[in-house]
Structure 1
Amino acid sequence: MSETTHDGAAVFTRDDPHLGRFTVRPVDPDTDVPLLHRWLTHPKSSFWLMNGASEEDVDRMFRTTAASEHEHAYIGEWEGESRFLVELYDPAHTELKDAYTVRSGDVGMHFLVAPTDSPVSGFTRSVITTVMELVFTDPSADRVVVEPDVRNGPVHELNAAMGFHVDRTVFLSEMDKDAYLSFCSREQFAEATATDTTTGGERR
């Protein structure tokens, strides 16, 4: 993954013709932790396994990420409002390295859409499209790797729509979950979304 400047400025922008502008910026632990704590401990975020986390736990997690060379965390904004979380990481430095043969150009990805009582039609799909475009603006990225909980049906549907193919089920002891190890190459993403009418994003 290419390095990004953690100065609060947007690193990626994408315009959706139906939903408007999506921007992505680095997480700032000094200001974002209270918001992220609310998101991650919400019952709708149960697959992140942080429902009982304290604000200090969340602060520690994102400060560790900010100091790491192998993982990056971002806040996604929709029309200027913080609405989703993105984590990108090098699978070679996680438990996944024991689950499959990591290739050069592999990028691990997690995303979380902020819990809301007023969902917008098509919003989550536009978020994951934004995340995938963010990854592939890096020319060194060839394939996205995900490991969603096998019980997370809505995410499996979204992943399939992006071009992901499930390789197999793996048990991840650090997260205490059975997960669908899944991959999506740059070409698979382009083919799966070829009929989308969204505009391409721009990395800054």
Structure 2
Amino acid sequence: MRFTFRCLDAKADAPLLHTWVTQPYASFWGMLSSTVDEVVEEYSKIQASGHHHALLGLDGGVPAFLTEEYLPAASPLAGAYAVQPGDLGMHLLVAPPSGGPKPGYTAAVMDAVLERLFQKPGVERVVVEPDVRNTKIHALNERLGFQPAGVVELPDKQALLSCCTRTEYLAARAALQQPVNLSTTTHQGA
């Protein structure tokens, strides 16, 4: 697997994203009944915000996942926990698998996203806030070093706030016996 990242083009990528966010497995993304135009509108707002940014993740040049990074201090999380300098928020949605599920694929995607985020200057901790009912992502988060920090009330959900420092991420990677190889991930765009 060779993952690359490019800036999301809200208008051009919306038809593809629409096929992902309206799948039943993406129910926690909150866009099940969205139209393509609503996807364009949402991602245009994100890209123009200055504090929230979406990237399309590619596997061998093929779109494979969507990741968002945001500043918690400029998000609804600002009133829900004590934001620390160096905090960066993350969202992740993996595309529906073509040809059936691939064991370990989502973990590999999340690993590549975390590797990218921790390479950014000033990032000390990655913060996630998935819906409390999304038990699959909670297990994956913990596997990659996230520590639950408690349930928080957000405008659109009750979320399990979890945080991961660079040290916790690297320790989780070592425990998985899959050392980080910085040469396997390339970065395009932001």
Normalised by the length of structure 1, the TM-score is: 0.86
Q: Which runs of 5 or more structure 2 residues have no equivalent in the other structure?
A: none
- Match for residue 165 of structure 1? 147
Instruction: Provide, for residues 63-112 of structure 1, a one-character-per-residue CA deviation record: whole Å limited to 9, x for no partner.
Output: 11121210110000111110100000000111111111111110000000
Contact 1:72 1:88 in 2 (8 A): yes
Shift of the alpha carbon at 1:46? 0.3
Report the CA distance between 1:54 and its aligned residue.
1.1
Counterparts of 1:115-126 in structure 2, within 5 Å, are 115-116=96-97, 118-126=100-108
Question: 2 CA distance for matches of 1:83 and 1:97?
Answer: 30
Identity of aligned residues (%): 42
Query: What is the deviation of 1:198?
Result: 4.9
Q: Which residue of 161, 181, 190 corresponds with 1:181?
A: 161
Aligned amino acid, residue 85 of structure 2: S
Q: CA deviation at 1:197?
A: 4.0
C-alpha deviation, 1:139, in angstroms: 1.9
Equivalent residue runs for 1:64-83 within 5 Å: 64-83=45-64
What is the Cα deviation at residue 170 of structure 1? 1.1
Contact 2:66 2:92 in 1 (8 A): yes
State the SS of the aligned residue for 1:193: helix
Asked if 1:95 is matched to 2:80, the reply is no
In structure 2, the residue matched to 1:47 is 28
Q: Name whichever structure is richer in helix by fraction.
A: 2
- Once the two structures are superposed, the pairs formed by residues 7-18 of structure 1 within 5 Å of their partners are none
Aligned in 2, Cα 1:202/1:34: closer, same or farther, shift over 3 Å? closer
* SS of alignment partner, residue 2 of structure 2: strand
> How far did residue 116 of structure 1 move?
2.6
Aligned-pair distance for 1:137? 1.0
**What per-residue deviation string (whole Å, max 9, x for no partner) do you get for residues 133-164 of structure 1?**
11011021110000111111110111001110
TM-score scaled to structure 2, two decimals?
Answer: 0.92
Aligned to 2:170: 190
Q: For the Cα contact (< 8 Å) 1:137–1:202, is it kept in 2?
A: no
Runs of 4+ in 1 over 6 A off after TM superposition: none
Instruction: Report the CA distance between 1:168 and its aligned residue.
Output: 0.6
Aligned length: 183
User: Superposition RMSD on alpha carbons, in Å?
Assistant: 1.3
8 Å CA contact retained: 1:45, 1:115: no
Is it true that 1:114 corresponds to 2:95 in the alignment? yes
Q: CA deviation at 1:24?
A: 0.9
Match of 1:135 among 114, 117, 129: 117
Per the alignment, do residues 198 and 185 of structure 1 end up closer, same or farther by CA in structure 2, a change over 3 Å counting? Answer: closer
